[in-house]
Structure 1
Amino acid sequence: MAIIITDECINCDACISECPNNAIYEPGEEWSYSDETALSGTVTVPGSGDVVDADTENEPLSDEFYYIVPGKCTECKGFHDEPQCASVCPVDCCVPDDAHQESEEELLAKKAWLYGE
Structure 2
Amino acid sequence: MSLEITDECINCDVCEPECPNEAISMGPEIYVIDPNLCTECVGHFDTPQCMEVCPVECINKDPAKPETQDELMAKYEKLQAGK
TM over 0.5: yes
Cα displacement (A) at 1:115: 1.2
Q: What is the root-mean-square deviation in Å for CA atoms of aligned residues?
A: 1.0
Stretches of structure 2 lacking an aligned partner (at least 5 in a row): none
Instruction: Report the Cα distance in structure 1 between the residues aligned to 2:13 and 2:59, rounded to whole angstroms.
Output: 12
Of 81, 95, 98 in structure 1, the residue corresponding to residue 63 of structure 2 is 98
Aligned residues between the structures: 82
Question: Does 1:4 find its partner at 2:33?
Answer: no
Cα displacement (A) at 1:70: 0.5
Question: Does 1:82 find its partner at 2:55?
Answer: no
Decide which structure has greater helix share: 2
- Residue-by-residue CA offset, 1:21-47 (whole Å, 9 max, x unaligned): 0000012xxxxxxxxxxxxxxxxxxxx
| Ranges of 4+ aligned residues in structure 1 off by more than 3 Å | none
Instruction: Report the Cα distance in structure 2 between the residues aligned to 1:5 and 1:76, rounded to whole angstroms.
Output: 15
Q: What is the match of residue 47 of structure 1? A: none
| TM-score, length of structure 1 as denominator length | 0.68
Cα displacement (A) at 1:96: 0.5
Stretches of structure 1 lacking an aligned partner (at least 5 in a row): 28-62
Q: Which has the larger radius of gyration?
A: 1
- Residue-by-residue CA offset, 1:25-83 (whole Å, 9 max, x unaligned): 012xxxxxxxxxxxxxxxxxxxxxxxxxxxxxxxxxxx110000001000000111100
Q: What is the match of residue 110 of structure 1? A: 75
Instruction: Report the Cα distance in structure 2 between the residues aligned to 1:96 and 1:87, rounded to whole angstroms.
Output: 13
- Once the two structures are aligned, what percentage of the paired residues are identical? 52
Cα displacement (A) at 1:10: 0.1
| TM-score, length of structure 2 as denominator length | 0.95
